[in-house]
Structure 1
Amino acid sequence: MSNVNIYKFIKDWVPPEASIAFADSKQYLDYQSGIHDIRIRPGQPIPQGSISERVFQQRSRIESLVNESVFGIPYYGIGYPIEEDNGFIGALTVILPPLYALNHKQSSYTFITGKQGEIWNPIPIDQIAYIESNQKKTWFYTTDGQYSTIQTLRVLEQRLPNTFLRIHRSYIVNISFIQQLYRDVSSNLIMKLKIPNCPELTVSQTYVTTVRRILEF
């Protein structure tokens, strides 16, 4: 998808104060300034702590307030991974004034409603060990079993409390259920959880740095 097509696609739903940046994994390729202009230049390297950097690290939608230490001007950013048929190609960031953080903050989920058979059950968040995306469905697991949910992993990631950690494009885990982490014979980082018959989960290379930073090891 060309930059022109991307901007045409989103121009009708971004407010006039928004600036828009498009980046590949190393640098900004294009920038359209709005009223809230953080003065990005095409060709400028992606700085540490920016929304664009976090989109490339996590390969998912990122929404966060960014302080002035990154660009010299604080902003509220909403970043989107851009993918084509041949894979992940870039990060699109909508850049808004910091006050948008107050107006758009959504409360964290306290429960997720899951389905077993034909029965729906609201399950408290602290009882959920991990969440999985598999075969275009989303599942979550507790000590009592497996549930399906209509929510996508991407939506859940934005609304889960910070006790949950994304470790893979297919997994989000509850930190309180982590029993141990170790390296396997191929040097993959493996996570074992505290629930019966739970498969060991592999932390993908995309998320290893984030996992180590959050868990401080």
Structure 2
Amino acid sequence: MDAFPMETIFAAIGELFSDETSIAVANTKEYIYYQPSKRIDLKISVGDPVKEGTIAFKALTGKHKVSEFIDRDIFGVPYYGMAVPLFRDGEIQGCVSAIFPTLASGKSVVTVKHQDSWIPVSFSKVMYVEASERKTHVITEELTGTHKYSLNEFEFLLPKEDFVRCHRSFIVNVNHIKEIYPDTHSTLILIMNNQSRIPVSQSYTSYFRKLLGF
């Protein structure tokens, strides 16, 4: 049987882990394949150089498997990664990296700016987080405030068992969803407990359905 093209194999591996895990493949200098997931996307492009400090760089320079947390300084978001070097005839040729979202840090509140003060709010009271007008708005049961974090950063801050990204501009707390309606083009509309209508975009609909089991 003829050998499968490497890109086909990489794509199949990426499909196995696409819900939670991004897959990156690099040679000794640059990335040659990248498959992002819905939970974590480092915005890597084919041809990007392997930066110092990344999980791929550590595996290539150390020439052994690496598993560790990488802070937000490199890609703008923190992640947990595992990278395995690839060898041919004893010489390192590249590496394969699995990129996972970080676990919640153990915090139970988010502190939002509301008028002239900062107010700590329990995660359980946050209904959804919205990115609009170049700001991140945190909508809670009692108030609406703003925060310096981007939506991508909030994906790592908020506990994943309760909060789901449903749109490029929204993360919702599933405990505050009142009803779910089908919308056009295989999308969904969420009616929240405060009657807000939140869209689930087409790119997130399948993932959203899988997480909520319907």
C-alpha distance 109-136 of structure 1, shift in aligned 2 (>3 A): farther
Partner of 1:184: 183
Cα distance between partner residues in 2 of 1:181 and 1:207: 14
Name which of 173, 192, 212 aligns with 2:209.
212
Q: Aligned-pair RMSD on alpha carbons?
A: 3.3
In the TM superposition, residue 183 of structure 1 has moved relative to its aligned partner by: 1.1
The two structures have a TM-score, normalised by structure 2, of 0.60
The two structures have a TM-score, normalised by structure 1, of 0.59
**Partner secondary structure for residue 159 of structure 2:** coil
Cα distance between partner residues in 2 of 1:42 and 1:184: 35
| Residues 149-181 of structure 1: CA deviation (Å, up to 9, x unaligned) | 111111110121021000001000001001111
Cα distance between partner residues in 2 of 1:207 and 1:184: 13
After TM superposition, list the pairs within 5 Å mapping 1:102-121 onto structure 2.
107-121=105-119
Partner of 1:25: none
Structure 1 stretches of 4+ moved >6 Å? none
In the TM superposition, residue 135 of structure 1 has moved relative to its aligned partner by: 1.5
In the TM superposition, residue 45 of structure 1 has moved relative to its aligned partner by: 4.1
| Residues 15-47 of structure 1: CA deviation (Å, up to 9, x unaligned) | xxxxxxxxxxxxx9xxxxxxxxxxxx4453412
Cα distance between partner residues in 1 of 2:203 and 2:185: 16
In the TM superposition, residue 98 of structure 1 has moved relative to its aligned partner by: 6.4
**Partner secondary structure for residue 23 of structure 2:** helix
How much identity, in percent, do the aligned residues show? 25
Partner of 1:201: 198
Q: Does 1:44 align with 2:19?
A: no
After TM superposition, list the pairs within 5 Å mapping 1:49-198 onto structure 2.
49=17, 50-52=21-23, 56-58=36-38, 62=40, 79-82=41-44, 94-95=55-56, 97=65, 99-100=67-68, 107-162=105-160, 163-184=162-183, 187-195=186-194, 197-198=195-196
Q: Is the 8 A contact 1:57 1:207 kept in 2?
A: no
Deviates most, 113-122 or 184-193: 184-193
**Count of residues in Structure 1 that have an aligned counterpart in Structure 2:** 152
Which segments of 5 or more consecutive residues in structure 2 lack a partner in the other structure? 25-33, 60-64, 72-79, 81-101
